[in-house]
Amino acid sequence: MSDAGAGAELSDETRRRLFALARRAIEAHLHGTPFHAGDAGGELAERRGVFVTLRRRADGELRGCIGFVEPQDCLASAVARAAAAALEDYRFDPVTIQELPQLEMEISVLGEPWAIRPEDVQVGIHGLIVRHAGRGGLLLPQVARDRRWDRETFLEQTCRKAGLPADAWRQPGCEVLAFTAFVLSETSGG
């Protein structure tokens, strides 16, 4: 599967609408008001896995990243839910309404995960999911690319994200899955 299969076919209008939906969901969450993505048609009605990543514009520091691997909702609803949830990513202090104007957003539209042999993992192309001993961890493809990890480091870091030993991916019974993601950037328009 290529990046195109994960979201490259989304129209510019759909991309703009996704960012507008995500911003409205974030604002509603911060104000404590209910938000509903509304009736989604066309591309927004497709069921997709998504992640929303929030970063500070000034230094690129991560402020939250939450998503859904499995396509549980239509794209519009999934993006709205992930955007609101990213505000309270347990790894960080909750995002405040005061810092919202200083945040930029990425939306990663995921392709379906598949089982992959560790030696077939391609850094910068594949995202990874590692599952073993009742634990699981996920890293998006851009994480390994941005940090300039090699394949083994990517596998090790995904294991660590799952709370597993770094070499768990080598253990019998460890499940390694790959997926592609098309990353939509709020600042670059695509």
The model's pTM is 0.87
25 and 73 part of one domain: yes
- Look up residue 50 and give its two tokens: 């998504």
pLDDT score at 5: 43
Which residues are CB-neighbours of 101 under 8 A, at least 6 positions away?
A: none
CA distance 83 to 21: 9
What pLDDT is stored for residue 8 in this prediction? Answer: 54
Give a yes or no: residue 174 inside a domain: yes
Q: Are 148 and 118 in a shared domain?
A: yes
What CATH number corresponds to the domain at position 31?
Answer: 3.30.700.20
Count of the separate structural domains present in the chain: 2
For the chain, the average pLDDT equals 91
Do 50 and 72 touch, CB atoms closer than 8 A?
no
Q: pLDDT at position 190, please?
A: 54
Measured over all CA atoms, what is the biggest interatomic distance in the chain, rounded to whole angstroms? Answer: 48
pLDDT digit string (tens) for 73-125? 899 999 999 999 999 999 999 999 999 999 999 999 999 999 999 999 999 99
Which pLDDT score, from 0 to 100, does residue 72 have? 84
If asked whether residues 93 and 148 sit together in one domain, one would say no
pLDDT at position 3 is: 41
Separation of alpha carbons 99 and 112, rounded Å:
34
Q: How do residues 5-54 score in pLDDT, each as one tens digit?
A: 444 578 899 999 999 999 999 999 999 999 988 777 888 999 999 999 99
Radius of gyration of the chain (CA): 16
What is the pLDDT at residue 1?
Answer: 33
| Average pLDDT value for residue range 120-132 | 97
At 159-189, the pLDDT tens digits run 999 999 999 999 999 999 999 999 999 876 5
Domain boundary among 67, 91, 110: 110
